[in-house]
Structure 1
Amino acid sequence: DTAGQERFRSLTSAFFREAVGFLLVFDLTNETSFINVRNWISEIQTHAYSENVDIVLVGNKCDLENERIISKNRAQDFAKEYNINYIETSALKNINVVEAIKLLLDSVMDRFEHDKNLSKPNQNKIKSLNEIIDKQGLENSFGKRPKTSYCCLY
Structure 2
Amino acid sequence: MTSGSSCQPWAVSSFFTYTHNLESATVKFEIWDTAGQEKYQSVCHLYYRNAHAALLVYDIAKKETLKKAKLWLEELEKKFLPDEIVIALVGNKTDLAAEREVTTEEGAEFARTNGLLFMETSAKSNHQVNDIFMAIVQELLRREKEKASAPSPHERSTIDLKEGTPKRRCCWL
TM-score range, shorter chain: 0.7 to 0.9
State the match for 1:72 in structure 2. 104
Report deviation, 1:127: 6.8
Q: 1:11 aligns with which of 36, 43, 55?
A: 43
Code of the aligned partner of 1:51 = P
Taking structure 2 as the reference length, the TM-score comes to 0.66
**Runs in 1 of length 4+ with deviation above 2 angstroms?**
none
- Structure 1 residues 22-61: aligned runs within 5 Å: 22-48=54-80, 50-52=81-83, 53-61=85-93
Aligned CA RMSD, in angstroms, stands at 2.4
Matched, 1:91 2:132: no
The sequence identity of aligned pairs, in percent, is: 29
Which deviations, in whole Å up to 9, do the C-alpha atoms of 1:104-136 show, x marking residues without a partner? 11111111121122228xxxxx579xxx99xxx
SS in 1 for 2:58: strand
Report deviation, 1:94: 0.5
Matched, 1:20 2:52: yes
Q: 2:137 aligns with which of 105, 130, 140?
A: 105
CA distance in 1, matches of 2:38, 2:68: 11
CA distance in 1, matches of 2:138, 2:99: 31
Where relative contact order (Cα < 8 A, 6+ residues apart) is larger, the structure is 2
Name the structure with the higher helix share: 1
SS in 2 for 1:64: helix
State the match for 2:24 in structure 1. none
Preserved CA contact (<8 Å) 1:23 1:104: no
Which deviations, in whole Å up to 9, do the C-alpha atoms of 1:76-110 show, x marking residues without a partner? 11111102121000000010000011011111111
- Structure 1 stretches of 5 or more lacking a match? 121-125, 134-151
Preserved CA contact (<8 Å) 1:56 1:86: yes
CA distance in 1, matches of 2:46, 2:149: 29
Report deviation, 1:30: 0.8
Report deviation, 1:43: 0.7
- Structure 2 stretches of 5 or more lacking a match? 1-32, 153-160
Taking structure 1 as the reference length, the TM-score comes to 0.74
Report deviation, 1:16: 2.3
Report deviation, 1:19: 0.6
